[in-house]
Amino acid sequence: MPGLREKLISEQNMEEENEQRELVLQQLDDYVPLSIATFGKKLSSEDQVTVFIHCRVKTNTVVAFTKWLDGIIEAAKSFNTSAWRGKMVLGPTAAYGDPGHSEFIIMFRYSEYSVMRSWLLSPERARCKCRLRIEEHAVTNTS
């Protein structure tokens, strides 16, 4: 019965997305405090936030990775266009001490931490991450 198989696959994908969201929540709680004291001003979830991502990819897959990267950045922008504050991509550059790989530094900014957190937990982001075949690109240090 094709409908049952598709339903089971859909349920499995939803479970994987929920597990991914839980992992992101744990990482956020460990590494990104909701409020940080700096220069006498207390930051909150309503302050602007910049995300930095470091990726190392196989040099022979840079074109495919760049296409995927363009897609996930567009999805991040479309997620909340009024909160989007821009992006910057540095690379590809040769990976230090690893001639078979190239490195990228990706930065993007939202107007509020709460929007960034929502993006990190969103099904759209989970779908974008699923499109990247990690074993093919050997991506490391993504978040």
> What's the pLDDT at 73?
93
> What's the pLDDT at 80?
94
> What's the pLDDT at 39?
47
The architecture in CATH of the region 34-137 reads 2-Layer Sandwich (3.30)
Cβ 102 vs Cβ 93: under 8 Å: yes
Q: Model-level pTM greater than 0.85?
A: no
> What's the pLDDT at 18?
61
Q: Which residue has the tokens 């982001």?
A: 125
CA distance 36 to 64: 38
> What's the pLDDT at 35?
41
Taking the chain (143 residues) in consecutive chunks of 10 residues, what is each chunk's mean pLDDT? 63 66 51 43 68 86 90 94 92 84 90 89 88 64 47
Cβ 113 vs Cβ 47: under 8 Å: yes
Domain spans in the chain, listed from the N-terminal domain onward: 34-137
